[in-house]
Amino acid sequence: SDDGSGRKTIVENVGSVEGLAYHRGWDMLYWTSYTTSTITRHTVDQNSWGAVDRNTVVTMSGDDHPRAFVLDECQSLMFWTNWNEQTPSIMRATLSGSNVLVIIGTDIRTPN
């Protein structure tokens, strides 16, 4: 409802969410978690909830922490900032999490 009374929790225990984006075509919610250093997606359609509703598509390592996040549905790509104190960057991957690339990795500090 428009007054917020019909709201429902879609997913719990996600860590510290820093970035959030919705894919209209797939009815999927994507988010970055600073505490788990992951990018995860979950279907929003309750009729499809089952064993594979939520899946981590990117797991970062070491001191990497994904933050700001955006989807490009037309190109099937996702972009995010990486808060790594030593090597901060702006990164991208396909929506399934494959082909992770650093697209900007020099002359950058604490990207948001």
Instruction: Provide the b/e sequence for 67-79 (b: ≥16 CB within 10 Å).
Output: bbbebeeeeeebb
Predicted TM-score of the model (pTM): 0.86
Q: What class does CATH assign to 17-104?
A: mainly beta
pLDDT tens profile 13-22 = 888 999 999 9
Provide the residue ranges of all domains of the chain, joining segments of one domain with +.
17-104
The full length of the chain comes to 112
* Helix, strand or coil, per DSSP, at residue 19: strand
Residue 91: pLDDT band with limits 50, 70, 90: very high
pLDDT tens profile 65-86 = 999 999 999 999 999 999 999 9
d(CA 12, CA 9): 7
